[in-house]
Amino acid sequence: MPTTTNSHPLDWKFLNPSKGLKYLYYQFTISFITSICISTISFKYLYSNFGNSFLCDKYLTYWLVLFSLVKFCDIPLKVKLLLKLVYLSSRIKVDDTRFTIKRLMNLVRSSIFKTFELLNISSYLLLIYGLVRIVSGNTCDENLANPYSTSVKVMMIFIIRLIIGIIVLKFDDNEPVIRGFPEFLYFLQDGAEIEDIENLQEISMNDDFKNQYKNDVCSVCTFEFQEGDVIKVLPCYESHTFHKDCIDRWLIQKDSCPLCGSSIAKKNK
Ligand SMILES: [Zn+2]
Ligand SMILES: [Zn+2]
């Protein structure tokens, strides 16, 4: 008889949560400092020059108000996320990887993280608009306050922050995590629940099963199933099968069968 088993713990060797925590920690710290600098510089300028600045270039003044507001609003979010990360880091040695991943999963799926992302996207869009306005140039009466130099300063700080962010991201890339780390975090947002992945039917390929799945191919890695492989059966209508390692990696990123697209969460319940 072939051996079929259920509820196998996931093998998390392909994920590296401590690296993820470190990455998030760097990003939020840099981002936090940037937000403080940007809002301080622009509020200070706007506080004493708003009227004059508005007469000089109302669009760039509006831009400065909006950009600094977005940066100011995300400060409390970053503090909260940083505190959560400090807590997660303190637990990483105590908990096993599974719980750390689960907590990271909850963090990147939380409304506070999503709000942070939304503000981030808004600031990228605003940056593009600001750059366009800066490049098109402006001149105004010398008696008026020109928002040009403050805007350039603020943009430079934000661009430098982006460059540091990219350096942090590329730094220490010897240790492979599934394709680069930020992607891993975003994958966690759409992945299946850990319990659902672990509850999938698992089959060890012995002689009996070798015949049943003889010419079957795992469509994730495109290799045929071999004797000794451990495969997983998804609860789709066609019961699609994949290597355990291949489908675990897939499902942590996406809650659906790679072949037919049906969700494993709904059918598993
Ligand atoms: Zn495979
Ligand atoms: Zn399927």
Task: With respect to residue 228, please indicate whether it lies within any of the assigned structural domains.
Answer: yes
Q: Which ligand is nearest to the CA of 233?
A: 2
- Same domain for 146 and 215, yes or no, is no
Q: Which domain holds residue 207?
A: 4-11+190-268
- Same domain for 74 and 200, yes or no, is no
Q: What is the DSSP string of 165-216?
A: HHHHHHSS--S--TTSHHHHHHHHHHSPPHHHHHTSEEEE--HHHHHHTTT-
Distance 241 CA to ligand 2 centre (A): 8
Distance 261 CA to ligand 2 centre (A): 6
Distance 263 CA to ligand 2 centre (A): 8
- Same domain for 61 and 112, yes or no, is yes
Given 174, 201, 232, the domain boundary residue is 174
Given 174, 209, 233, the domain boundary residue is 174
Task: With respect to residue 182, please indicate whether it lies within any of the assigned structural domains.
Answer: no
Minimal CA–CA distance to 30: which of 203, 162, 139, 146?
162
The count of domains in the chain is 2
**How far lies 208's CA from each of 8, 131, 241, in Å?**
21, 65, 16
- Same domain for 73 and 155, yes or no, is yes
Task: With respect to residue 74, please indicate whether it lies within any of the assigned structural domains.
Answer: yes
CATH number for the domain that contains residue 262? 3.30.40.10
Distance 98 CA to ligand 2 centre (A): 26
- Same domain for 101 and 207, yes or no, is no
- Same domain for 79 and 157, yes or no, is yes
At residue 263's C-alpha, the angle toward residues 257 and 266, to 5°, is 145
Task: With respect to residue 130, please indicate whether it lies within any of the assigned structural domains.
Answer: yes
Given 174, 203, 234, the domain boundary residue is 174
Task: With respect to residue 262, please indicate whether it lies within any of the assigned structural domains.
Answer: yes
Distance 104 CA to ligand 2 centre (A): 27
- Same domain for 200 and 166, yes or no, is no
* Coil vs helix vs strand at 25: helix
Q: What is the pLDDT of residue 155?
A: 95
* Coil vs helix vs strand at 235: coil
- Same domain for 259 and 167, yes or no, is no
Tell me, rounded to whole angstroms, the distance of Cα 246 from its chain centroid: 21
Task: With respect to residue 49, please indicate whether it lies within any of the assigned structural domains.
Answer: yes
User: What's this model's pTM, rounded to 2 decimal places?
Assistant: 0.70
**How far lies 247's CA from each of 18, 192, 195, in Å?**
23, 11, 14
Task: With respect to residue 212, please indicate whether it lies within any of the assigned structural domains.
Answer: yes
Q: Pull the structure tokens for residue 96.
A: 């096993």
Q: Pull the structure tokens for residue 114.
A: 């999503």
- Same domain for 58 and 107, yes or no, is yes
- Over its length of 269 residues, how does the chain's per-residue pLDDT go in tens digits? 444 444 455 555 556 677 777 778 888 899 999 999 999 999 999 999 888 888 888 889 999 999 999 999 999 999 999 998 888 888 877 766 777 777 887 888 888 888 988 998 999 999 999 999 888 876 777 777 788 889 999 999 999 998 887 777 666 555 544 334 555 566 677 778 878 888 888 888 776 666 676 668 888 888 888 888 888 989 888 889 999 888 888 888 788 899 998 888 754 44
Residues, CB-to-ion distance under 5 Å, ligand 2: 236, 240, 257, 259-260
Residues, CB-to-ion distance under 5 Å, ligand 1: 218, 220-221, 243, 246
Q: Which ligand is nearest to the CA of 235?
A: 2
Task: With respect to residue 179, please indicate whether it lies within any of the assigned structural domains.
Answer: no
* Cα gap 45→145, rounded to integer Å: 9
Distance 133 CA to ligand 1 centre (A): 51
Q: Which ligand is nearest to the CA of 257?
A: 2
Q: Are strands 201-204 and 4-5 parallel, antiparallel or unpaired?
A: antiparallel
- Same domain for 114 and 43, yes or no, is yes
Q: Which ligand is nearest to the CA of 226?
A: 1
* Cα gap 5→22, rounded to integer Å: 36
- Same domain for 139 and 241, yes or no, is no
- Same domain for 123 and 167, yes or no, is yes
Distance 171 CA to ligand 1 centre (A): 30
Distance 63 CA to ligand 2 centre (A): 49
